[in-house]
Structure 1
Amino acid sequence: MNLKNTWFRKLRRNDKINPPLNKNIGTEKNPVTEEFVISEELKKMPEQPGVYIMRNQQNEVIYVGKAVNLKNRVKQYFQSHSGHSRKVKAMVSQIKTFEYIITGTEKEALILECNLIKRYKPKYNILFRDDKTYPYIKVTTNEEYPRIFMTRKVEKDGARYFGPYTSSNEVRETINFLTKTFLIRTCKKKIGSKKERPCLNYYINKCMAPCYGGITSEQYREAVKEVCDFLSGKEKELLEKLENEMLAASQDMNFEKAAELRDKINSIKNMFQEQKVVSTTDTDDEDVIAYAIKNGTACVQIFFIREGKLIGRKYFIIDNMEEKADDEREMIVSFVQQFYDSAENIPKNILLPIEIGEEENSIEEWLEEKKGSKVYIKLPKKGEKFKLVKMVAQNAETYLDNYLKTGAVKKQQNINAIEQLMEFIGLKKYPRRIEAYDISNTGGTDITGAMVVFIDGEPASSQYRRFRIKSLSQPDDYAAMQEMLFRRFRNVYATGVTRKVQDTDDTDNKALDITQERTLNKSLDDAPEYPDLILIDGGLGHVNAAMEVIRHYNLGIPLFGMVKDDKHKTRGLVSLDKEFDLQNNKVVLSFITKIQDEAHRFALEYNKKLRSKRYSKSVLDEIEGVGNVRKRELIKHFKSVDKIKSASIEELMQVKGITRTVAENIYEFFNKR
């Protein structure tokens, strides 16, 4: 197809016309010198199918897309951003100019988009990368006497590639079976008219030795065809052919050949029995595609099913994915385009987990043109096919969970989350050290605080600190938070290492007097390092209380409260100026939730430890009739042993589980000693 006669590019620049995107695509010859005004250029766009190209300030291609209606599609980017994902908002903010190429049909737009994405690898397009290079079996059908061997590189060289396989051991075992069964060569010899002495493989029955001239090219090609049928999963046709040959050989009294064919048939049957049968009612070739998304990372998995048997599967990992319908649809469309653009075998059926909209017809047409026969894209809603898609999705989720546990992936995920957090709340400095604080109390007793530390997004448990709040006898989260922060920063401040910030007026601390603060135990915190970001468990009131301490020490540390919803789940961050809703940014929400949950766990753990210690040894243990349950209820009701001592019999009987006899025992124990 001559693209020059089909596609035309409309381009306006305030400096010069860029080189053509493709040598076959025509460009306007006369540069337009007026400034590129997006609102004006949108009015001039055609309502036709085509491809659009977004560029940034440096004239780099940052996104390539296709559309049935170019004008409507591109306008959507510059209208209200409320429905856009974080990625789209970031992309739109960088767009300085755009171009478009009109195409004759949607299918042509799809092909052109594929080529441009491969060429430019734009920053905001979904680019599929595998977590490793999978092995393939290569049959060099482009040679007169084809070879069979393992490769990790698929090229358009006329050879046939089968796979991908999940392990190189599996490939080696398969090749070994094929050479034993079909006697196909694996060497790199160039076979000409001159006969050569055969190698060892010929003598151990692993090669037909075409180099020696013991077999014609046609006979050898027939064996290669059988190998390709086997690798394509065409078990039924291959076995039927071999059985017919075996029957004909036995009828011709060629029992030696019949025995060889019998052994070959048995070997093939045994090999196929090891493959997983996933369909017994439909033997059409099909690929099943599904995906899973977690913590901003997606895993797309494809199962290759031939003749009702699972012959292989492959995984692809995508970072910076959001759980939005439009993003998920774009991901699946991009996967189908990029995967089948270089695929050796295109099946009759492709099963998808979600609708892909108006692009389905153009993708089917494109695949049919590549395959040379009908291709169907299906979305199963029930039955065996639906269960198959669900199984692939479950496999994708399991693989993704394991992938996310690897150290390098976790590190990169943390960096991505922190960078998104910086952008979301407007931090200018990378918060390498994040400290989070939480308060835990039980009805006024054992009030505790906890500080957890995250360095580069990972918990640094050796730097955690516990605080036993001593200035309070009644619950007061604001005052407890202030005491904890005073004790955290006083030792750092005492070293003389202060942060340079703008002068601020000291704020009187109503919850905790400074002279009282100096009397507190100084040994609880000796951490010398300032955090880059402080997060506290609580809302605006907690933030106000905490900021008094920050101002007192003249610290320039950003501080935010971690806010929860009615179900006690993290929902956002709050500062003195505004609240940030994290519901639409799953990556940041997951990161903040991880920190808040860890702070809560550590604070609660210390509180339970103190309570357990107090309950385990008490003067109440000496009283007849008072066991652990009654002791716990007494402490819970009266808050302290001193109040139990001064209680009357009637007051003691108000406690759950305390009878008159037990109440009299308690009263007599404390008043007759």
Structure 2
Amino acid sequence: MSDDGARYYGPYTSVWAVHQTLDVLRRIFPYLTCDREITGGDARACLYYDIKLCTAPCIGMINQAGYRQMIDDLGQFLEGRTEPIVTRLRADMNQAAEALNFERAAALRDQIQAIERVVEKQKVVSSDYIDSDVVAMARTDGEACVQVFFIRSGKLIGREYFLMEGAAESPDADVITGFLKQFYDQAPNVPPEVLLPTEIEEMNIIREWLNSRRGGQKVELHIPRLGPQQELMQMAAENASATLSALQAQWQADTHRQEQALAELQTALDLPEAPNRIECYDISNTQGTAAVGSMVVFEQGVPKKSLYRRFNIRSVSGPDDFASMEEVLTRRFSRWQATQDASQAPGKKPDPAFSLLPDLLLVDGGKGQLSRAEAVLERFELTGRFFLASLAKHNEELFIPGQSESLLLPRHSQALYLVQRVRDEAHRYAITSHRQRRDKAGIASQLDTVPGIGPMRRKALLAHFGGLQQIRQASTEELLTIPGITIKLAQAIRETLGQE
């Protein structure tokens, strides 16, 4: 989300949800959608004015103050604060009727009724009118679905679900922690209260971070045990479970498409058999920092999330995706080689992510990434053991070793949809892993600059004080109460953090 002065709403999990919201909004608040320069002196308005989807500021049918008020109303509507809007619109309607301006009074009446039709669908769930987000989770067969209820002014105004990637082996608390970091890093606003299904280890750190995301205003994290809040949590958990069941049923129904996609891919690439195991690799970094490589695995055309792996880039300085890709593939096949050697040792179970070779290996990028991948396979004497290609996003073209021309899969083929999904999954997993590494480094980096502060002392400081701001404000005497903090370290902490 850009910090560009604009007001953002969401996040939405689908384009359909965005368009549905915009359709409702535009009928209630007919805002401008064209890019013409607004002077109020145009000769005529466009068709949208005639069908009541625009207030036509271009011809002066609404002045700047009136249009500004409508946009403010739209913002309040999205935040669930409809009562002040309806009260003001009723007053305007009565005033227009008294002035015998019946056309405007009728338009305002229709606007009020449209708002009330939406509001009456919103369930009143709280009498204390506290804004809060309710975060619940359901898990089954290695999948995790997080459901968020948005409570504004005591009403349930919306809900969204999110599938958590790579959560198969993570405990509930870690999944919730990862979700909070990802969701509120992109969320346009943070409510004063967030309800959680379980205790999380970094509760104080997350609370401090959310406070900063809310402009310094306090955010409470609660785990409801009894009463209406616990009932809300139960409702959200049941929604998450139902959503996950529906998605799994849909995935099962897609089996035919997956088989078709694999068959088309086999034909297009002239493979001896269908590529039942596909691996894809991508790199994500911010100007070369916190670089992470991702490995995703698809089996029988569906993601095998338990086999996903991430690689923190170690040997590359700066933003060099080619060298990073070479490092990732080298480490991947080094581990494959190690599993072959370990297979001779009794009692040792190999990592299934690395013990098998793919039928098809994809790297995200063009010829540069492909040449690095070729070099790695040659080094491990794997050339020809499986099919290798790179997928460039610009024209969705496949580059294949030894072929000067790229391969374009048919535009609407299931084969193209499959390789795009595999590539997009690798890209998403790389970005998620990169953000987690970057966020973790951001929380710890300032303390790490203090000489003598290692991981154990850093953890003790954050656990005791809750965040960097409280550590900055702590006196030397308060710092000395932490085990391992000497007078010299306390002074170094105050000097280093006090420089900001």
TM-score after normalising by structure 2: 0.48
- Structure 1 or 2: more helix by fraction: 2
RCO higher in 1 or 2 (8 Å CA, sep ≥ 6)?
2
Larger Rg: 1
